[in-house]
Chain A
Amino acid sequence: SQTIHQWPATLVQPVGSPLSLECTVEGTSNPNLYWYRQAAGRGLQLLFYSVGIGQISSEVPQNLSASRPQDRQFILSSKKLLLSDSGFYLCAWEQGSGGNEQFFGPGTRLTVL
């Protein structure tokens, strides 16, 4: 069966510090991968998606970046965090060419102070 892992579960970082969130998927190959951010009481905002190794598309210009060094690994990074980067970060995977059900990880709660 397929599983998706995210870590860390929670993170408190000072403004201006770097960030690295990791997401890995098991039990599937060549998935579409997604990074979302969810603010309190808001919907999921798509940040990045990837249809293959090294292929990253950005949906929202910001100080975050993403990389996909392996087929089932997706990393979200920042060189310098802003207060506005606080939120709940979710990784998801999907099989197929789009529009299919997405499977979400447990999420990372990031607080920037």
Chain B
Amino acid sequence: SQKIEQNSEALNIQEGKTATLTCNYTNYSPAYLQWYRQDPGRGPVFLLLIRENEKEKRKERLKVTFDTTLKQSLFHITASQPADSATYLCALWEYGNKLVFGAGTILRVKS
């Protein structure tokens, strides 16, 4: 069956450290992979999109990698801040299908 797996346990890190979140998938062949941020009681906000032929993409303190052999994406936040605390969702898109979301990982950055 198809699955998107993100760490169900919250990730707790110290301010200033790099946070690394994982998204693994099974039985998908995504053309695109996206990451969103969601704050409690709010709608998700788009952060980054990476295509299947791209290995890495950066935006300010954010970096996403996409390994289609491992079927995994890693999402990094460098120099993390308490304001980065939120739930981070990954989402996959296959040609001809709709965007499918993982359940998300909660990130807590402590000062």
Using CB atoms and an 8 Å cutoff, list the residues of chain A in contact with chain B: 34, 41-44, 46, 49, 59, 88, 90, 92, 98-107, 109
> Quick one: given A43-B104, A49-B98, are A102 and B46 in contact (CB under 8 Å)?
yes
Using CB atoms and an 8 Å cutoff, list the residues of chain B in contact with chain A: 4, 31-32, 34, 41-46, 49, 89, 93, 95-104
Q: Specify which chain A residues have a CB less than 8 angstroms from the CB of B43 in the assembled complex.
A: 90, 92, 104-107
The answer to whether A106 and B42 have CB atoms under 8 Å apart is yes
User: Chain A's interface: helix, strand, loop or mixed, by majority?
Assistant: loop
Closest B-chain residue to A90, C-beta based?
B43
Closest A-chain residue to B104, C-beta based?
A43
Residue among B42, B43, B101 facing the most chain A CB atoms (10 A cut-off): B43
Number of A-B contacts (CB under 8 A): 49
> Quick one: given A98-B93, A99-B31, are A104 and B103 in contact (CB under 8 Å)?
no
The answer to whether B98 and A46 have CB atoms under 8 Å apart is yes
Residue among B31, B44, B103 facing the most chain A CB atoms (10 A cut-off): B44
Q: Could you pull out 6 A-B pairs where Cβ atoms are within 8 angstroms?
A: A42-B103, A43-B89, A43-B103, A98-B98, A101-B49, A104-B44
> Quick one: given A44-B44, A92-B43, A105-B43, are A99 and B99 in contact (CB under 8 Å)?
yes
Output the least CB separation between B80 and chain A (Å). 23
Q: Specify which chain A residues have a CB less than 8 angstroms from the CB of B49 in the assembled complex.
A: 100-101
Q: Specify which chain B residues have a CB less than 8 angstroms from the CB of A49 in the assembled complex.
A: 98
How far does the alpha carbon of A45 sit from the alpha carbon of B34 in the complex, in Å? 16
The answer to whether A104 and B45 have CB atoms under 8 Å apart is yes
> Quick one: given A98-B93, A101-B34, are A107 and B42 in contact (CB under 8 Å)?
yes
The answer to whether A43 and B42 have CB atoms under 8 Å apart is no
A-B complex: 6 closest residue pairs judged by Cβ atoms? A104-B43, A99-B93, A101-B46, A44-B101, A43-B103, A43-B101
How far does the alpha carbon of A100 sit from the alpha carbon of B44 in the complex, in Å? 14
Output the least CB separation between B68 and chain A (Å). 15
Closest B-chain residue to A4, C-beta based?
B43
Output the least CB separation between B1 and chain A (Å). 15
